[in-house]
Amino acid sequence: MLISELSKQTGITAHTIRFYEKSGLIKGKRDEKVKTNNYFHYDEDTVEKLVLIRDAKSVGFTINEISQLIEAWYNNKMTVAEKLAVLNEKLLSIDERIKQLKEMKKMISQFKKDVITDNC
């Protein structure tokens, strides 16, 4: 399939797909039989990878982390225990970020009270 169809199937823009390709997360293939254009063609594995990328990004994984995950996940280089360790590490990271955000919220609320009571 061409990038436009891939974009429709995954809900990811062609621009973003090209970025992922330049980042090495996915690879398109040229059709050797077609000599009139340089279009890349994508298969169902690419659709699966893009869905994984989209989902991983939505829960806070970075492009670098996703790259490592795809490499290990798709090449069966990770055991179940290692996969769980990666996910547990991300959960801890998210918990830490939540803690930081709560502290920020508390500080901003205090600043707001100071402004209301003219203590600033």
Task: Give residue 75's pLDDT band: very low, low, confident or very high (50, 70, 90).
Answer: confident
pLDDT of 19 strictly over 90: yes
Q: What is the pLDDT of residue 74?
A: 75
Burial of residue 68 (number of CB atoms within 10 Å: 0-12, 13-18, 19+): middle
For the chain, the average pLDDT equals 89
Residue type, 73: W
**What does DSSP assign to residue 36?**
S
77 compared with 66, residue with greater pLDDT: 66
Per-residue pLDDT at 58 exceeds 70:
yes
Q: How confident is the model at residue 6 (pLDDT cuts 50, 70, 90)?
A: very high
Residue 18's closest CA among 1, 6, 36?
6
Which tokens sit at 111? Answer: 């600043």
What's the start-to-end Cα distance of the chain, in Å?
A: 61
User: What mean pLDDT do residues 60-82 have?
Assistant: 84
